[in-house]
Amino acid sequence: MKFGGSSLKTGECMRQVAEIIISEKEKKAVVLSAVTGVTEMLVQFISRTRSEEDVDAFMKQITKLHTDLIKDALRTEKGQAKTMEELVAKLVKLERMLYGSCYIEEVNPRIRDYVQCFGERLSVIMVAALLDEMGVKAKAMDADELGIITDGEYGSATVNLEATRSMIRPKLMKSLQDGVTPVITGFFGRAPEGSVTVFGRNGSDYSAAAVANALGASSLEIWKDVDGFMSVDPRIVPSARPIPTLSYDEAAELAYFGAKVVHPMTMEPARAGNIEIRVKNVFRPEAPGTVIRGMGKNGDVGIKSISCMKNMSLVKVFGEDTGYKLGVLEDIASLMTKAEVNIYSVVTSLTCIAMLVDKKDVAKAQKVLTESGNLSRMETHSGFALMCVVGEGLGHHKGLASRVFKAVAKEGVNVGLISAGASLVAFHFTIEEADLERATKAVHEELFGC
């Protein structure tokens, strides 16, 4: 069972989470995110070097936020005091690292990852204490100590499932046999050489899938503040409908292209272990939510959902006869890899290769491509958004693309780069960011009638 930061906002939310955990009678492990906003605070703080005064003020702020929550969540003074003690022991480690970074005047990827994961180290202590207070034995566990093993890539690590299984399974099984519910930190693991590495923002869903895989669990519940995956981001279209079932591929494409309900990598450990994922709402536990599983022949093959991404830019590189020359795409892709730029989409013509990248990566892409020296010209265009339509069997749905583009055109919105056919379950296109809301509403209305 995994609970996200938005389900841990207040003491009352935390008690609701504890009640959901307690009402599950099967043996279970729990994985948690940081309390909402805490990772963002840590990420912002460690984005540059700081002074001692900055560290002091920051530590005060983060301590107060958690102290207030403990007082709000736990009923007994004894419980509150014991939890504070455990929390302070973790906060001291964070403080020391922040001072260290401030004295050596350096923030490197290793320090950054080490600092970012403290929100989770704090939230597991609070929820384990709350479960204890409510009469259920629970133990807070840090993923690095427990043994979630990663490939060591700072900022966007991948779990080594085999190594992780052999490290954590015996410990978790023992805990379960002893009747103690493990409450494990999401978001990070330990590189083979020992350093902390995070899985990228929203990575706790992925941690939970890795734990479920290691345990050979039959199901993974991901608890959110929405009724599961919806037909579109409900913040853009309030009439969005919950989706009852998705295949692993559909969920992965949706998550990758902007439906930030679950981390896109979550589906891999689940698929590998044939584990059913249920996305449920903490505030409406009776709602069915979304089930994500392998899609058999009789799967549900309609159009399921639309996802969107803002802040996209187009990088166009021109060269004579680009289309005829062998290896041009390979050269460009390796330059982009060197610059650590992710390419979301690529379309080529005789003279041009157009790539869709995150706006924040444009400068890096520009630099590395210019330095390579063998392109005749480059253009960058920003202010784009991407819209992705997802559904198993989309590749065989006649007339779907024309319905989508007609709906967009009716709003007077221009379509830029189009990509279809790469995935059998998704196609996407770009529009101007300013048109996103209008276009999304129009496509949702066309496909779902609301």
**Residues making contact with ligand ASP (CB under 6 A):** 4-5, 33-34, 39, 119, 186-187, 201-204
Work out whether 299 is an interface residue with ligand ADP (CB under 6 A): no
- Cα 407 to Cα 358: distance, rounded to the nearest angstrom: 26
Instruction: Yes or no: say if 355 and 345 are a contact pair by the CB < 8 Å rule.
Output: yes
Is 36 or 305 the residue whose CB approaches Mg ion more closely?
36
Work out whether 124 is an interface residue with ligand ADP (CB under 6 A): no
Binds 119, which of ligand ASP, ligand ADP, Mg ion, none (CB < 5 to 8 A, cut-off by type)?
ligand ASP
- Cα 425 to Cα 122: distance, rounded to the nearest angstrom: 39
Instruction: Yes or no: say if 185 and 120 are a contact pair by the CB < 8 Å rule.
Output: yes
Work out whether 229 is an interface residue with ligand ADP (CB under 6 A): yes
Strand partners, 432: 384
Question: Which two three-digit tokens encode residue 211?
Answer: 């734990």
Work out whether 160 is an interface residue with Mg ion (CB under 5 A): no
Instruction: Yes or no: say if 280 and 234 are a contact pair by the CB < 8 Å rule.
Output: no
Q: Which residue is nearest to ligand ADP (CB)?
A: 4
Binds 230, which of Mg ion, ligand ADP, ligand ASP, none (CB < 5 to 8 A, cut-off by type)?
ligand ADP
Measured in Å, how far apart are the chain's first and last C-alpha atoms?
A: 32
Least distance in angstroms from the C-beta of 240 to ligand ADP: 7
Least distance in angstroms from the C-beta of 200 to ligand ADP: 12
Least distance in angstroms from the C-beta of 276 to ligand ASP: 20
Work out whether 186 is an interface residue with ligand ADP (CB under 6 A): no
- Cα 121 to Cα 128: distance, rounded to the nearest angstrom: 11
- Cα 244 to Cα 415: distance, rounded to the nearest angstrom: 30
Is 286 or 330 the residue whose CB approaches ligand ADP more closely?
286
Site string for Mg ion, 172-211 (x = CB under 5 A): ------------------------------x---------
Question: Which two three-digit tokens encode residue 133?
Answer: 């207070």
Instruction: Yes or no: say if 387 and 441 are a contact pair by the CB < 8 Å rule.
Output: no
Instruction: Yes or no: say if 355 and 381 are a contact pair by the CB < 8 Å rule.
Output: no
Contact window for ligand ADP (CB under 6 A) among 58-66, 114-122, 227-235, 293-301: 227-235
CA distances from 380 to 39, 367, 435 (A): 32, 12, 19
Contact window for ligand ADP (CB under 6 A) among 11-19, 229-237, 332-340, 402-410: 229-237
Work out whether 123 is an interface residue with Mg ion (CB under 5 A): no
Work out whether 36 is an interface residue with Mg ion (CB under 5 A): no
Residue 194, sorted as left (phi over 0), alpha (psi -120 to 50) or beta, turns out to be left
CA distances from 385 to 45, 252, 311, 369, 416 (A): 28, 19, 6, 23, 10
**Which one among 1, 161, 226, 328 touches ligand ADP, defined by CB under 6 A?**
226
Work out whether 78 is an interface residue with ligand ADP (CB under 6 A): no
Residue ranges binding Mg ion (CB under 5 A): 4, 202
Residue ranges binding ligand ADP (CB under 6 A): 4-7, 33, 202, 224-226, 229-230, 232-235, 259-261, 305, 307
